Amino acid sequence: MSLPLPLYPLALAVFAMGTSEFMLAGLLPDLARDLGVGIGAAGSLTSAFAVGMVVGAPLVAVFARRWSGRAGLLVFVLVFLAAHVVGAVTSSFPVLLLTRIVAALANAGFLALALAAATAMVPPDRKARALAVLLGGTTVATVVGVPGGALLGELAGWRAAFWAVAVLCVPATIGILWGVPGGDGKGEPRPLRAEFRVLRAPGLVRAMVLAALVNAATFGSFTYLAPVVTGTAGLSASWVSVALVLFGVGSFAGVTVAGRLADRHAGRLLAFGGPLLLCGWVVLSGLADRPAGLLGVLPVQGALCFAVGGTLIAGILYEAGGAPVLAGAYATAALNVGAVAGPLSAGLVVERPTGPFLLSAGLVAAALAFAAVSGSRPGGPASRC
């Protein structure tokens, strides 16, 4: 059974937003020099974006819950576009920081509504497949958008990358306007009090904690991959795009495989993928100063990061099945708690040659320990067999 066609305009918009969220990994050195700030301060732009998504996901989902699916999605993508136009022309770091927060709020609202819409379009046992389409937009961003942004930044300056994201929003907007239904036809939404009560479910809390830890590991190292490539590995700036492409190719493969397996085999996927993810960060820390080894392991680690992380996000959607409006907001918030904590923590150790990779290893180890102590199992049909 094929997936609904309207999922793909949503994935296109997620691609544009994912490009923006992740592209700073390849632009930090140039941006920091241009605005006269340190690498750590420039890295806070990623954290600010993630903070906006964590705070914004539940708030904007509540605010937009009575809008039609199409109207809410259009508002958020247009605000996102405007924030990037302002970011492209400003010479003030505080203003750029503010635009990142505004863009993050728009991204949070869009992703929360898109996740809810996507899972409502498919049968209950195909949520992970629908999620894989949306996350596919994110992983394609790491394969094409982020390296392309890094290359564009190298050739024309970091501002050109911001303009490119604004332009990407135009076809995404047209796709949503023509492809996404104007309303869900379901009448009054479920009372908010009932949806917030879902947060008390132990299974949902466990899934959110695990997703936050694993994604903190991913974002912590990914945000500072450029300094590792050009510093620790001793490669030229042009190799940053290559490293991002390799990581992104693996990410796309990982989320695709997870999308096909997580609905029925989530427990097995995490049981094997979690320890391998930990080993991968340790191996990367040992190969960080060896260009061939570093570049060779990056696609494998990208696949593991998104296979494990995507499975955990799908688990949140299953566990939050009783909160149809806020399920996407819970998943978005959990993912971006990791995206806040990871870069902030990695910024404290980025001066050490393998600091970000070792930090990521520690975060995955903490996730494995928490899973063992709590006896948690991911949501989904397989986990309840």
State pLDDT tens for residues 103-147. 988 888 888 778 777 777 777 666 667 776 776 676 677 667 767
State pLDDT tens for residues 280-326. 999 999 998 899 999 999 999 999 998 898 888 878 877 877 776 67
The predicted structure's pLDDT at residue 3 = 66
The predicted structure's pLDDT at residue 260 = 72
Low-confidence ranges of the chain (pLDDT < 50): 184-186, 377-385
Burial bucket for residue 164 (CB in 10 Å: 0-12, 13-18, 19+): buried
What is the value of pTM for the model shown?
0.72
The predicted structure's pLDDT at residue 185 = 44
Q: What is the chain's Cα-based Rg? A: 19
Q: Which two tokens stand for residue 93?
A: 């770091």
Between CA 136 and CA 259 the distance in angstroms is 10
Other residues' Cβ atoms within 10 Å of the Cβ of residue 205: 16
User: What 3-state DSSP class applies to 74?
Assistant: helix
The predicted structure's pLDDT at residue 173 = 87
The predicted structure's pLDDT at residue 189 = 58
Say how far residue 59 (Cα) sits from the centre of its chain: 19
| Residue 127 to residues 66, 146, 240, Cα–Cα distance (Å) | 23, 27, 34
| DSSP code at position 199 | G
The predicted structure's pLDDT at residue 384 = 40
